[in-house]
Structure 1
């Protein structure tokens, strides 16, 4: 959350001359309501099913850069689909997350005790992120442009 997936994805897509697609934005567009509302009204399990379907669809038909929601990795089927795809895990620590997200925003998974919840989420997700990632790029203290440069270098991508 707040690591800059979409921002960095858009910068990379621009450099490569392709489009960036955000699966969270796909879900919001398809459902006609914010993700927080989906969580509250239908629950996390329903949202995760929508997320898995959105990732499947995007991976099957989008030739550009994809920004996946932070929890997409929880689905084993999604992790299998990501095998062999150039995935980059954008990493940051709690202190940076506090600076970027504030941990008091309207993010459904951070509603109660946000610092502890963020730690728990990262402890559970970090091994899954690194399992599928071809590269891990820290965003700590870096501008989105610097992160995009590091991703391009890590994946040995050339600009158009």
Structure 2
């Protein structure tokens, strides 16, 4: 194996809280083929982390929240259909009664947003502008959801 073997793949890392106070963490890192946007084996990665969680707390998680980076608008549905389904399937295979609520937060890639002042003479917003608050409302399957942009 050559020293540049890592150039042929990307790495997926899953980090999970291992206690109720979110002070202990477990992590799993695995390679994945390049240019693959969907995490291929998130179910088995998560199953291992759920097992560690169960070992520490003697119960399965009631909620799973995970963040995804680097997806575009056209891939949101694919993430839901494959990754979230794989997460739920992994939890059920660990324990038939393990049916946590799953929230997936997807951060879009290539977002270039600039903010401008209402006063056209000011140009771009000055550093440390206090009144900057941005939110979008999305109509989801369960009603109106609030989306706050990271900036």
TM-score w.r.t. length of structure 1: 0.30
Query: Over alpha carbons, which structure has the higher Rg?
Result: 2
- Please identify which structure carries the higher strand content: 2
Which of structures 1 and 2 has the larger relative contact order (alpha carbons within 8 angstroms, sep 6+)?
A: 1
TM-score w.r.t. length of structure 2: 0.31
